[in-house]
């Protein structure tokens, strides 16, 4: 029986400094089969790879969040490219555009420049991308259309059904987390209802975006069953169906490297 595949966590965050090892070690015992820890800058990308090295069920995504672009330069992009070659790096992310706090021309230029630079890395390394897009729907979609064959996930999806379907046509999946349980999540619930379950990935963005009844508190992968339950209600399927289908979806997106496929087949054979 498949467990939950957590496609977007930030266990490197200082919110976990007090109990990180204990919490991470408890995940497999609580039905969390795989975790992708996602970098938001060079430091956290390295930390994600450290976690992946330490814990067999954790994999890493490396990249720089759009909020980090003023700290980037060509040397750091080169370093991200080097990190992406690690055997347990399964994606470039999280990368994208975010105009929520700053939307001046210089910010837009820098975000687009480094977004494309990291999409180039994904293309070179044949890796999917974990895309952050906030208040930047049109520009984000325009850039991603320049990279039609990458695939990946639109993290913490917050746009319309029409945009979701556009991304799905391009081969991307839709990341759904705690926000789907919020009272004001009618738009996201509408998206979940009207896209195939085969195009949904489970995520937390922990320590952020905790689902109801923990909204406002520290989030973790342990709260994903609440997301599963809500999706199951919307799609009128069993929670186990949600878990198994989204697990399969995530493995198809992220576990493409030959070495990882061989490793998983070996583990499966030993069960």
Question: Using 50, 70 and 90 to split pLDDT, how confident is the model at 257?
Answer: low
CA-closest candidate to residue 9, choices 56, 53, 43, 60? 60
Asked whether the CA dihedral 262, 264, 267, 271 is positive or negative, the reply is: negative
- Whether residue 262 has pLDDT greater than 80: no
Q: Is 100 annotated as a binding residue?
A: no
Name the pLDDT band for 266 (thresholds 50, 70, 90).
Answer: very low
pLDDT in tens, 10-33: 999 999 999 999 999 999 999 999
Quick check: 129 and 158 in contact, CB under 8 A? no
In CATH, which superfamily holds the domain spanning 4-270? Metal-dependent hydrolases (3.20.20.140)
Is 266 annotated as belonging to a binding site?
no
Domain ranges within the chain, ordered by starting residue: 4-270
Report CA torsion sign: 215, 190, 243, 57.
negative
Looking at every residue in the chain, the average pLDDT score rounds to 95
Q: 6 a known binding residue?
A: no
Please indicate if the annotation marks 132 as binding a ligand.
Answer: yes
> Is 190 one of the annotated binding-site residues?
no
- Note the pLDDT tens digit of each residue in 106-165: 999 999 999 999 999 999 999 999 999 999 999 999 999 999 889 999 999 999 999 999
* Between 232 and 258, residue with greater pLDDT: 232
155 is in an annotated binding site: yes
Tell me the pLDDT band of 258, cut-offs 50, 70 and 90.
Answer: low
7: pLDDT strictly greater than 90:
yes
How many alpha carbons lie under 13 Å from residue 66 in its C-beta half-sphere?
28
């Amino acid at each position: 029986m498949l467990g939950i595949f957590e496609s977007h966590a930030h266990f490197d965050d200082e919110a976990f400094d007090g109990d990180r090892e204990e919490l991470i070690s408890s995940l497999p015992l609580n039905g969390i089969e795989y975790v992708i820890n996602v970098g938001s800058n060079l430091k956290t990308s390295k930390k994600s790879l450290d976690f992946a090295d330490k814990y067999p069920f954790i994999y890493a995504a490396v990249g720089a969040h759009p909020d980090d672009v003023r700290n980037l330069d060509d040397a750091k992009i080169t370093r991200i490219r080097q990190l992406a070659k690690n055997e347990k790096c399964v994606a470039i992310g999280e990368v994208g555009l975010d105009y929520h706090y700053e939307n001046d021309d210089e910010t837009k230029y820098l975000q687009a420049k480094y977004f494309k630079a990291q999409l180039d890395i994904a293309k070179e390394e044949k890796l999917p991308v974990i895309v952050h897009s906030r208040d930047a729907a049109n520009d984000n979609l325009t850039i991603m259309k320049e990279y039609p064959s990458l695939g990946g996930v639109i993290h913490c999806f917050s746009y319309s059904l029409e945009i979701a379907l556009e991304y799905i046509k391009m081969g991307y999946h839709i990341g759904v987390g705690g926000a789907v349980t919020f009272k004001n999540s009618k738009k996201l619930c509408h998206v979940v209802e009207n896209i195939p379950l085969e195009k949904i990935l489970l995520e937390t963005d922990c320590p952020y975006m905790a689902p109801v009844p923990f909204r406002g508190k520290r989030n973790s992968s342990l709260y994903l069953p609440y997301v599963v339950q809500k999706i199951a209600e919307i799609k009128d399927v069993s929670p186990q169906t949600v878990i198994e289908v989204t697990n399969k979806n995530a493995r198809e997106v992220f576990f493409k490297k030959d070495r990882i496929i061989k490793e998983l087949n070996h583990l499966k054979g030993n069960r």
